[in-house]
Structure 1
Amino acid sequence: MQNFHPNGNCPIRDVLSRLGDKWSMLVLITLHTNGTMRFSDIHKTIADVSQRMLTVTLRTLESDGLVKRKVYAEVPPRVEYCLTERGLSLIPHLEGLVNWALQQMPGIMESREKNDSVQKPM
């Protein structure tokens, strides 16, 4: 049995806290599906993310070495994002989770509805 100590040295907590936010996995899957993308294209693809949250998410993924940001010296400046080798190595694991979620979602929704109806007072 593995122990997970809350002393700041738990790689599982650290990595999952970074990937478990609302947007990171969607950004990674989007970049994997579409390849190199500009900020505006990522934003259009994930329509409900705000520009600020997309910026924060991309910076976080870049700081973890999962996404590469390339700035072109043009006027106006062009910025593109793509997955790094580390980001690409994560994709099979994310795809497994995405496939599991797609397969299980109908049953999960059914369970939620049953649970909601049991918990509602009559």
Structure 2
Amino acid sequence: MSMLNGFLVLTGFFIAGEALRVLLALPVSGGVIGMILLTLLLMLKGSISDSLAGSSQALISVLVLLIMPGVVGVFFVADEFAGQWLAIGAALAVGTLLSVLTTLWLMQRFSGPEGGGHE
């Protein structure tokens, strides 16, 4: 029952994000808006419930299955990207580099004293 409560919270924030997206005509996914709202709430609260943590962990374990439909969908519009290989390659390279650097900085920033962090 605890995991069901966590999924309900995640679904509620997804629906709230979709509602905001539609009402404000935002060019951002409702899921992204919902996760931003959830993140802000958790930052204000300062903790996460066991049910939300358990549900999130269960979703992370199947993350590849959640991402796969979007990746497969790219193959259906591959013709539209044919002349854009340089821009796509540059975006992938720069995006990957920025992602790795951001992850490295966050790990150094928030790791404990044994990791050389600044807590």
TM-score if structure 1 supplies the norm length?
Answer: 0.28
Greater share of residues in helix:
2
Query: Which gives a bigger RCO, structure 1 or 2 (Cα 8 Å, sep 6+)?
Result: 1
